[in-house]
Structure 1
Amino acid sequence: MSCDVSILVVSYNTKEETLACIESVYDQTKEVSFELIVLDNDSKDGSAEAIEKKFPRLTLVKSKKNLGFAGANNVAAEQATGEYVLLLNPDTVILDQAIDRIVKFARSNSEPGVYGGRTLFEDMSLNKDSCHGAPTPWSLLSMGIGFSSMFSRSALFNPEGLGAWQRDSFREVDCITGCFLLLERSLWKELGGFDLDYFMYGEDTDLCLRARKHGVKCFVYPDAQLIHHGGRSEKVRADKMIRLFRAKHQLFQKHWKPHSVKFGANMLVCWAFTRYLALRTLGVANASYRQRASEWYSVFSRRSEYCDIPKRMA
């Protein structure tokens, strides 16, 4: 039996957050029909058992290994029957019928699109990670030399961060992030879902870039709001940044012209090194900055893990 929207949640060692997310979906989704498909990525914290006990009506897929974000969503989507597919992170909480709102808005649009909402932190301050600009050589240069941090409110020098925009107006963007991403199931199938070359990070950007090449636009609909805590399943900052950088390098290789790929890789290394230098300077009298400087130096020193630049003396 089909429904309006199939909601896909991938859980990995985030038991309490996942339970709260699921509860918010049931509490806040009142006007569109939905099915909830949760794939547990071989969690070791009792997530699958707790989900099964508290929410026996949803579809729970228990993976015997960690499939990553891309692989897990692809597997979950195979069971979807909805007109739309909504990717939803387990560390989110739906507010003010956000799913009802975004599905109705998408249906009112005469052309297919990829849609996202407005994400907030738990204290209701803005979490800008709901969307971003596409990576370009210019955006990587701005990051590599530190302009994106020094002039974070500038759309020119922080194009991936979209400058000072507060995500409070309807707007076309390059990319919607996978924490809250809605599209027609037919479009998901046409695109082939996520590219399995991406394990975690980058797969949503790749999906949006491929959609845009098909003439499909990406939009932020600010009336669909939710809390996104962010980073709960990835505890080590250096490891997280290396995953992010590795995914960015994959995006360069897939979507950029060959002569630009090496430039992008060099800018990733510069990005890590300039953050290290800035934080080390600030850390002369601040232990917190010294700790962060150490983490960024780790990212710099492990550069061979995220790009094909050989190690040199630091």
Structure 2
Amino acid sequence: MCNKVAICILNYNGSKDTIDCIRSIKKYECCLEFQILIYDNNSISDDLETLRDALACEFFSFFEINPDSIDDDELVRASDSSCILFSGTENLGFAKANNWLMRFALNEGFDHVVLLNNDTELVDDSISKLLKAYSDPTVQCDYATTDIRFYSDPEKSWNAGGSIFFGTRRYYRETDVLRFQKRGELFPRVEFITGCFLLLDRRAIKKLGFLSEDFFFGEEDYEFALRAKEKGAVGRVLLSTHILHKVGATASRSSANRILSRDYVHRLNRVIDMKHYYRPLRWKLWLAITSVYYFVDSIKRLGLGRKEATAYVGNIVRLGSVLNRVSKDTFERLITMDRQALVTCFDDETLDLFANLPSCPVVDK
């Protein structure tokens, strides 16, 4: 494989963002040997067709493959292309689709993979600079990222890595970046790196494993950070460059009900994640403390009444005690539940319904 870096991007009904993202890569990474691998998570036909047309225009050597039936001839023809589009027939979710792309990249001989959200854009040769810092033999580094700034406010940092503690995470922002820079640290250690932009190599993947498929949407980067910390891996953030992220654009258009259901999934993910990570007694202690925080936060931030907040948090705790993962079926059922259902105590029949939904397979860790 002559291409040095596999840049993995997921698309799900977001062809406009995906096209803008790959254009920024072409513009700024002209000296980098790369191949873009796009997995389409079964987008609607119009969106997929828009993406196909744009890729055909952008890349003279664009190649499309059905991931369910890949033959050797296709791989030979695709090996020299600048971009491969894998048009999936189902929505695998974030972790499983990215794992699919990473496994493909490793099987095809790539030593480095970059996970990049489709709603990001480069404003510099950030991947090249990150790869150079990552590959420095004098610096210990297992996984890395750069400063990630708001697309709507490029002077403001959204995430420059972060720290994790007792089931929580703290994003590093501008004040943290300035603190590192004043100390002369341009590639400091961090404990948490978002899956929005993540660089790994073959050695790191062998050491840490792939993303957890216990969660259909969200939590996979936090679980990865927990696992990396437990194994003594080193994460770093490069502060001499940055990319832009269109964070918040979807959330700002979401209804209050969708915000509530997404918050519910986020909380449930964390409860299940910590159940896997902690021993039973410590998990119960963590859950008791965290439930108080969830209760207060749901009143202050989500605007729930005290009775609603009690039921809302109680549902998270009860469901988190029953489930061992949040599968696609669980996610889709929760995300479509109305507000009243989420803030009313689940009965035993509802819990049994969730417990008997099909589950996604668990990836080896």
The TM-score, its normalising length taken from structure 2, stands at 0.68
Deviations, residues 43-77 of structure 1 (Å, cap 9, x unaligned): 22733222222123211111111111100001111
How far residue 256 of structure 1 moved from its aligned partner, in angstroms, is: 1.9
Q: Which is higher, the Rg of structure 1 or of structure 2?
A: 2
Structure 2's unaligned 5+ residue stretches are 57-61, 63-82, 181-186, 323-342, 346-365
* Other-structure match for 2:32: 32
Q: Quote the Cα distance in structure 2 between the aligned partners of 1:255 and 1:267.
A: 16
SS in 1 for 2:30: coil
- Among 245, 252, 271, the residue aligned to 1:249: 271
Q: 5 Å matches for 1:134-173?
A: 134-136=164-166, 139=168, 160-162=170-172, 165-168=175-178, 169=180, 170-173=187-190
Q: Which amino acid is 1:82 matched to?
A: F
Q: Aligned partners of 2:45 and 2:313: how far apart in 1?
A: 32
Change (3 A) 1:278 1:202: closer
Question: In 1, Cα distance between the equivalents of 2:4 and 2:149?
Answer: 25
Q: Do the aligned partners of residues 222 and 293 (structure 1) sit closer, same or farther apart at CA in structure 2, a change above 3 Å counting?
A: same
Q: Deviations over 1:56-112 (max 9, x none)?
A: 321111111111110000111122142211110111011211111101111114444
What secondary structure, in the 3-state scheme, does the structure 1 residue paired with 2:242 have?
strand
Tell me, in whole angstroms, the C-alpha distance in 2 between the residues paired with 1:255 and 1:46.
42
1:263-304 deviation line (CA, Å, top 9, x unaligned): 33334433332124335xxxxxxxxxxxx4159959547525
Mapped contact 1:106–1:115 kept (Cα < 8 A):
yes
Answering whether residue 135 of structure 2 is matched by residue 107 of structure 1, we say: yes
Report the Cα distance in structure 2 between the residues aligned to 1:220 and 1:179, rounded to whole angstroms: 13
Deviation at 1:2, TM superposition (A): 3.8
Residues 1:191 and 2:226 aligned together = no
> Contact 1:91–1:232 (CA<8 Å) still a contact in 2?
no
Aligned match of 1:59: 84
Look up the equivalent residue of 1:104 and give its one-letter code: K
Mapped pair 1:4 → 2:18: no
Q: Secondary structure at the match of 1:201?
A: coil
2:303 maps to a residue whose letter is A
The whole-number CA distance in structure 1 between the counterparts of 2:248 and 2:13 is 12
Bigger shift: residues 241-250 or 267-276? 267-276
Amino acid at match of 2:177: R
Cα RMSD after superposing both structures: 2.9
The Cα shift of 1:238 comes to: 1.6
- Which aligned pairs between 1:1-314 and structure 2 lie closer than 5 A? 1-44=1-44, 46-56=46-56, 57=62, 58-80=83-105, 81-110=109-138, 111-122=140-151, 123-136=153-166, 139=168, 160-162=170-172, 165-168=175-178, 169=180, 170-231=187-248, 235=254, 236-279=258-301, 292-294=302-304, 297=309, 300=313, 302-304=315-317, 307-308=320-321
- Identity across matched positions, percent: 22
Q: Which has the higher contact order (CA 8 A, sep 6+)?
A: 1
Number of residues of Structure 1 aligned to a counterpart in Structure 2: 281
Are the structure 2 counterparts of residues 246 and 231 from structure 1 closer, same or farther at C-alpha, using a change threshold of 3 Å? farther
Relative to structure 1, the CA distance from residue 161 to residue 130 in structure 2 (aligned partners, 3 Å threshold; closer, same or farther) is closer
Query: Is there any run of 5+ residues in structure 1 with no aligned partner, and where?
Result: 140-158, 280-291
The answer (yes or no) to whether the contact 2:189–2:237 under 8 Å persists in 1 is yes
